[in-house]
Structure 1
Amino acid sequence: MTDGVVLPLSLVEMATRQVRAEVLSGEFEPGERIGEEALCARLGTSRAPVREALRLLAQEGLIEHLPRRGFRVTVWSETDILQLFELRRVLERHAIESAFPLPAQGDPLHEVRAALEEMRAADAAGDLFERDNAHRRFHAAIVGLAGNHQLNLAYAPILLKLQLPMARNLRAEARITQRRNGIRRHAELLSALESGDAAVACEALSRHGELAYLDLDFR
């Protein structure tokens, strides 16, 4: 809702998806201004859904609002990125230690496995945007193993803020090494979880290498 007007959800979703994809792909660089008028003209929509989309993306941490100057892609410092990844590791390790031993009934790793398959399918199709989404779901599913609602709530904003660094790492890895290496790293982490041994899973998490290919200079 903007200025008391209920907006058509489809237009907001379209604008949000488009700008998010452009930020994650690097089409918009950190610090680059995102002009509302130019975005409206390019998407063929009115200002209201575009403004709402930008507000939602600001909540996710991908862009930021500058008073009287509009929106720009969020500028990260090296310290910001390192601290966020450290928080992610701490919370994921805590989730694994809390969740193990996993329940013997059913398939407690179903959501993790499904997210990895979605990563594979999107990668094979060349859909980097969907691969990024599945990548986030993969890590969220790991934390979800603990069945701790408050932990999920604490983890969600960290994962949102890490959207851009995580996407950049995967894409840089694909350029520098074999394209499927990012998928392989996540498959190895799933295999460690499948071992049923918390120590093995935590060790795999420590080797996961989410910073291996990331240029930390986001300024």
Structure 2
Amino acid sequence: MWSSQTLTLVLDPFGSQSHTGEIISVVFSPDGRLVASGSSDRTICVFDSHTGHLVLGPLKGHTDLVRSVVFSPDGTHILSGSDDRTVRVWRVKDGAPACDPLVGHQGEVTSVGYSPDGASIVSGSLDSTVRVWKAPRGHDESSPSGSTPAPVDDRKPHEMIFNGLKMSDDGWVENGNSQRLFCVPTDMVKLFPTPETEHAIGSGGILRVDYSAPVFLGDEWHRCYED
């Protein structure tokens, strides 16, 4: 760690005892007390910024190298993006996942970030798309960074998509029971609208599916044409 004023070393190198691979991304918590790191060993570690001691992790879940890590604005969560094409959210309090992996990108996730209010997550990928997700929220009574707890997660996807979505090359989206739900135009297939995605942005335009509103899926398609 280096002083931004004098450019001199203020803390001896740390992390090599916790990570077994190259450290690709590092970030401070909002209050400056913690440092999170993402590594080619597929894990995330959290260190005390004053001592370099490990305080959380290694956090395991990604199946490929971790390219990007960032803290939420309130310091209660860590966001990570990986070459496994997923985005994950971790609780700083105990290192537990705050939600299921955010799936939808068809290429490696190279960059992740939070909106200033912490309500949304953004991710960039080698699939040439940007996705905006609704940030999961959960009760954190306390955290190593002394942050304020966030409210409970209130995301509720449509009952027909609770068991997941998958999309074929021709744009048909099916649930986990192989029921066809809807079709995405072929020029927007990369923008596969997963339930957690608020917006997907790519060269073909912007795709948004509001899963919180009444959704006409499967046999309900005909209702889209009713007055």
- TM-based fold match above 0.5: no
Structure having the higher Rg? 2
More strand by share: 2
Task: For CA contacts below 8 A with separation 6 or more, give which structure has more relative contact order.
Answer: 1
More helix by share: 1
